[in-house]
């Protein structure tokens, strides 16, 4: 009797073989309040963490602004470290002003010169478009459909059209961000000729043809062309006119002076560049041969 009582009092003592007891870790028991505090952070801490994260978020970079040394390095002149040295030496100007400040930031449209020569940080691109009717030759927004819409996917470089074609004018238009190439068109001494096919509202009289060919004065200014010809001897309304001016304003000046209206204007060639294999509304990148020839003109 006493032994049985002792067994009850001492659970570790057994009267015979027993099954092995699996040793499982005891479950931790938490009070309801403890569980809530462990699983859910306090409102104060959460608010503080969120505020801390917000204050540490970097401001988005402005894609239109770039450090001057990076601008110079991207143009292929030198490395960033060398660019810092050139800036310190006063060899770099921004919009005509010498900049010595390290970390100075410029816009992509700023005029940056190194040692007197203008530089460009973007990859040079040359795009030739066969312009259709109804598109304005401008880079400005809010002008309706523009030629920039037609070449939007041509390149990531900031290309601009060289010269202008009227909204109703069709034909070749060259785009580039190469300042040297652009200057070839605006150089008054040389320039690059463009050939236009023009259809007038009436036959061009031979007397007027000769005056245009020889040159004439409008408001005291001499107006000259490179070449003029009839495209069809049986139809004197269609004219081929070669000029070196970048715009088509001179075309209006010429034919307004002689009381003709231009019903159709089409730019057929730019220098040696033609519309061959380039349908209306399509563009292409200049080939290496086309670019080399253009650079030598």
Residue (of 162, 157, 161) closest to 183 by Cα position? 162
- The gap between the terminal CA atoms of the chain, to the nearest Å, is 125
Rounded average pLDDT over 253-264: 96
| pLDDT greater than 70 at residue 46 | no
Q: Residue 61 corresponds to which tokens in the numbers above?
A: 């970079």
User: Over 70: is that where the pLDDT of 157 sits?
Assistant: yes
| Percent helix, strand and coil across the chain, each to the nearest 5 | 30, 25, 45
Tell me: the pLDDT tens digits for 122-131? Answer: 788 999 999 9
Cα–Cα distance for residue pair 258/31, rounded to 1 Å: 102
Buried/exposed code over 63-97 (b: 16+ C-beta within 10 A; e: otherwise): eeebbbbebbbbbebeeeeebbebbeeebbbbeee
pLDDT above 80: residue 6: no
In this prediction, residue 39 carries a pLDDT of 54
- Mean pLDDT across the chain: 82
Range 176-189 burial, b when 16+ CB lie within 10 A, else e: bbbeebbebbeeee
Specify the pLDDT at position 226: 93
What is the maximum span of the chain, computed from C-alpha positions, in angstroms? 148
Residue range 211-226: mean pLDDT, rounded: 93
Predicted confidence at residue 247, as pLDDT, reads: 73
The rounded distance, in Å, linking the Cα atoms of 134 and 172 is: 14
Q: How far apart are CA 256 and CA 262, in angstroms?
A: 9
Whether 74 contacts 123, CB under 8 Å: no
Q: Taking 90 as the threshold, does the pLDDT of residue 261 lie above it?
A: yes
Q: Which of 77-91, 241-255, 282-296 has the highest mean pLDDT?
A: 282-296
pLDDT of residue 134: 94
Q: pLDDT digit string (tens) for 21-40?
A: 555 555 555 455 445 545 55
Query: What angle, rounded to 10 degrees, do the helices at 179-186 and 288-296 form?
Result: 50
Supply the pLDDT for residue 297: 82
């Amino acid at each position: 009797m006493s032994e049985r009582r002792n067994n009850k009092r001492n659970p570790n003592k057994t009267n015979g073989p027993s099954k092995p007891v699996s040793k499982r870790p005891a479950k931790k028991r938490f009070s309801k309040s403890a569980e809530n505090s462990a699983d859910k952070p306090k409102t104060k801490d959460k608010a503080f963490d969120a505020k801390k994260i917000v204050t540490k978020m970097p401001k988005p970079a402005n894609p239109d602004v770039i450090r001057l040394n990076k601008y110079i390095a991207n143009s292929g002149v030198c490395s960033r470290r060398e660019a810092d040295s050139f800036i310190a030496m006063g060899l770099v100007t921004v919009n005509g002003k010498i900049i010595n400040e390290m970390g100075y930031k410029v816009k992509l449209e700023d005029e940056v010169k190194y040692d007197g020569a203008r530089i460009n940080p973007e990859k040079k691109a040359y795009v030739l478009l066969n312009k259709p009717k109804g598109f304005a030759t401008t880079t400005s927004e809010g002008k309706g459909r523009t030629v920039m819409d037609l070449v939007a996917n041509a390149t990531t470089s900031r290309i601009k059209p060289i010269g202008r074609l009227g909204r109703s004018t069709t034909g070749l238009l060259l785009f580039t961000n190469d300042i040297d190439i652009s200057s070839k068109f605006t150089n008054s001494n040389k320039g690059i000729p463009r050939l236009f096919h023009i259809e007038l509202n009436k036959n061009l009289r031979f007397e007027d043809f000769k005056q245009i060919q020889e040159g004439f004065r409008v408001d005291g200014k001499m107006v000259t062309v490179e070449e003029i010809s009839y495209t069809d001897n049986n139809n004197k309304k269609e004219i081929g006119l070669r000029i070196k001016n970048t715009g088509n304003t001179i075309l209006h000046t010429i034919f307004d002076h002689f009381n003709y209206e231009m019903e159709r204007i089409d730019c057929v060639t730019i220098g040696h560049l033609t519309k061959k294999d380039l349908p209306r509304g399509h563009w292409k990148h200049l080939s290496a041969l086309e670019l080399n020839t253009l650079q030598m003109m």
